[in-house]
Amino acid sequence: MRLILFLIRWGLLAALISGIFLTIYATVQQNYRQTLNDPQIQMAEDAARAIETGADPVSLVDTASVVDVSQSLKPFLIIYNPGGNVAAASAILDGATPKPPDGVFEYVKNYGEDRITWEPRGGVRIASVITSAKNNAYFILAGRNMREVEARERHLSWMILLGWLGSLFVVTLFLIAMQL
């Protein structure tokens, strides 16, 4: 009977501790991921606004400072025409300007914006914001490599795991001590 009571108490406390640690992980991880989009939101919205007021899309992109998206953490801008072809770009991957997955431009046509985690090739993940300008005459993609935030997420995972295991250990010792 004591063992059953011990296991019930341990299970309830373990569930409570697990819920707390999962909530902490999810909150911090989502904060990391959502704030990763902040520069891209500003870049995409500013470029769309400039195009709407008559700016030439090519003039909005720093083509002299092209970013290799597999290496650099620098945010970049790519502007596509309605056919999905590159009008101007400050990004390359494997020697060419990357194009977002099929269906992204269609989604942006219907909803005005899309924020996606994009993997143009294995090992390269991009936090990107895509919007449109001039009634879908142009699609603006602002992005940046996620490497550093993903490293922070891995570190966070280890911290949460160690905290969770340590807490379960302490609860186990506490319940054992209560039995004595």
Same domain flag for 111 and 168: no
Structural domain for 164, as ranges? 2-30+152-179
Same domain flag for 140 and 161: no
Instruction: Tell me the whole-structure pTM to 2 decimals.
Output: 0.85
What residues does 141 pair with on adjacent strands? 78, 130
Where is 138: in which H helix or E strand? strand 138-145
User: Residue 111 carries which side chain, given as an amino acid letter?
Assistant: Y
Same domain flag for 131 and 158: no
48-96 per-position pLDDT tens digit: 999 999 999 999 998 888 999 999 999 999 999 988 899 999 999 999 9
CA angle 59, 79, 55 (to 5 degrees): 35
Same domain flag for 72 and 102: yes
| Total of domains in the chain | 2
Same domain flag for 91 and 123: yes
Same domain flag for 165 and 119: no
119-172 per-position pLDDT tens digit: 999 999 999 999 999 888 899 999 999 999 999 999 999 999 999 999 999 999
Same domain flag for 24 and 42: no
Burial readout 140-159 (b: 16 or more C-beta within 10 A, e: otherwise): bbbbbbbeebbeeeeeeeee
Look at residue 180 and tell me whether its pLDDT is greater than 80.
no
